[in-house]
């Protein structure tokens, strides 16, 4: 059974690892499976789990949700940031949790640090004592990792305040938060639905689940705040560049206005036709240059009197 990653039995406030490959799903057990491995679908259906539920558990593309099938059985699909090495945290991994006939079956495609932490705690003998605690541990672990990532984003946003260019890192951070927001908003509703459901696993941890709902709500509010802050930073950078461009355009317009009369004169005297005054005098070119300088000085004086230079945008 290559698809079975881990198998634990919860009884008498102590979790143990049964030996061998379980052919039958038993109540009080946790089965953690690789959902894209061969054989997992057949194993689930062979244990009388309806095909429609198996399809939801193993679906390729899902969003966070909570589905209650009867008084006890339910499916909880959650998302978490991908904190694996050389991975993009915004490529959120999916953790699916099926509680059916007293057994907990979870599936994943990408390894989750949250699940690994819970498994290591069980191996050390200080992990979850029941399936209800295990589900709560998964929810809180995913929230904790999202919080950790958002702390890193907060440091980046503080650095973006000092930038004068719309950097690629700023744009990538904005896109990453949008991708995370896409899943975290429905995740808040899924956890809240689990809290308010009638399943015994949720009822036994009602107060702690309420804290988990408050945490995911705060995470959503933090995401909204960071997205708004990034929009403000981008708007300020665009305004800064627009003002800088306006100043440059204004400066070029003033320079063009200064050179317009002299350009006209030099162009007029530079035409290759007869009748240009001063062609017979060796001093004409010097007088002409002095005249151009005088025109420059007069234009500069007029522009200063009109406060052109002090009225730049």
Give residue 100's pLDDT.
94
Please work out, in degrees rounded to the nearest 5, the angle formed at the alpha carbon of residue 161 by the alpha carbons of 160 and 164. 80
Give residue 67's pLDDT.
95
Give residue 272's pLDDT.
54
In whole angstroms, give the CA distance from residue 241 to residue 291.
Answer: 39
pTM over 0.85: no
pLDDT band at 236 (very low <50, low <70, confident <90, very high): confident
136-162 confidence digits (pLDDT tens): 999 999 999 999 999 999 998 888 877
More confident residue, 150 or 1: 150
90-134 confidence digits (pLDDT tens): 999 999 999 999 999 999 999 999 999 999 999 988 889 999 999
In whole angstroms, give the CA distance from residue 62 to residue 45.
Answer: 20
Give residue 147's pLDDT.
94
Spatial contact of 104 and 63, defined as CB atoms under 8 Å apart: no
Query: Which whole number is the average pLDDT over 233-260?
Result: 74
Spatial contact of 92 and 183, defined as CB atoms under 8 Å apart: yes
Give residue 310's pLDDT.
60
Q: Does the pLDDT of residue 55 top 70, yes or no?
A: yes
The torsion angles phi and psi of 193, rounded to 5 degrees, stand at -65, -40
Is it true that domain 4-239 has CATH number 3.30.460.20?
Answer: yes
CA 77 vs. chain centroid, Å, equals 20
Domain range summary for the chain, segments of one domain joined by +? 4-239, 272-312
249-266 confidence digits (pLDDT tens): 777 776 777 677 767 666
**Residue 156 burial (10 A CB sphere; 0-12, 13-18, 19+):** middle
Among 137-146, 168-177, 192-201, 295-304, the range scoring the smallest mean pLDDT is 295-304
Give residue 61's pLDDT.
84
Q: Does the pLDDT of residue 309 top 80, yes or no?
A: no
Three-state DSSP class for residue 151: helix
How high does pLDDT run on average in the chain? 86
């Amino acid at each position: 059974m290559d698809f079975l990653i881990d198998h634990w039995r919860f009884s008498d406030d102590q979790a143990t690892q049964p030996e061998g490959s379980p052919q039958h799903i038993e109540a009080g057990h946790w089965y953690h499976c690789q959902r894209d491995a061969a054989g997992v679908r057949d194993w689930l259906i062979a244990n009388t789990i309806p095909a429609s539920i198996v399809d939801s558990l193993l679906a390729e593309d899902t969003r966070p949700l909570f589905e209650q099938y009867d008084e006890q059985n339910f499916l909880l699909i959650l998302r978490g940031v991908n904190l694996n090495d050389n991975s993009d945290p915004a490529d959120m991994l999916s953790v699916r949790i099926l509680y059916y006939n007293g057994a907990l079956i979870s599936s994943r495609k990408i390894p989750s640090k949250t699940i690994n932490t819970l498994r290591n705690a069980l191996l050390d003998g200080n992990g979850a004592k029941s399936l209800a605690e295990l589900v709560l541990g998964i929810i809180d672990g995913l929230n904790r990792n999202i919080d950790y990532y958002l702390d890193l984003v907060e440091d980046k946003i503080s650095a973006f305040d000092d930038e004068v260019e719309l950097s690629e890192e700023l744009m990538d951070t904005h896109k990453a938060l949008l991708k995370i927001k896409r899943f975290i908003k429905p995740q808040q509703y899924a956890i809240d639905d689990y809290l308010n459901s009638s399943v015994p696993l949720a009822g036994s941890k009602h107060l702690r689940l309420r804290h988990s709902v408050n945490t995911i709500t705060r995470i959503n509010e933090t995401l909204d705040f960071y997205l708004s802050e990034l929009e403000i930073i981008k708007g300020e950078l665009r305004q800064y560049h627009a003002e800088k461009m306006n100043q440059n355009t204004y400066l070029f317009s003033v320079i063009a206005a200064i050179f317009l009369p002299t350009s006209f004169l030099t162009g007029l005297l530079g035409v290759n036709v007869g009748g240009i005054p001063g062609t017979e005098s060796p001093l004409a070119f010097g007088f002409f240059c002095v005249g151009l300088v005088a025109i420059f000085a007069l234009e500069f004086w007029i522009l200063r009197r009109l406060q052109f230079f002090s009225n730049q945008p």
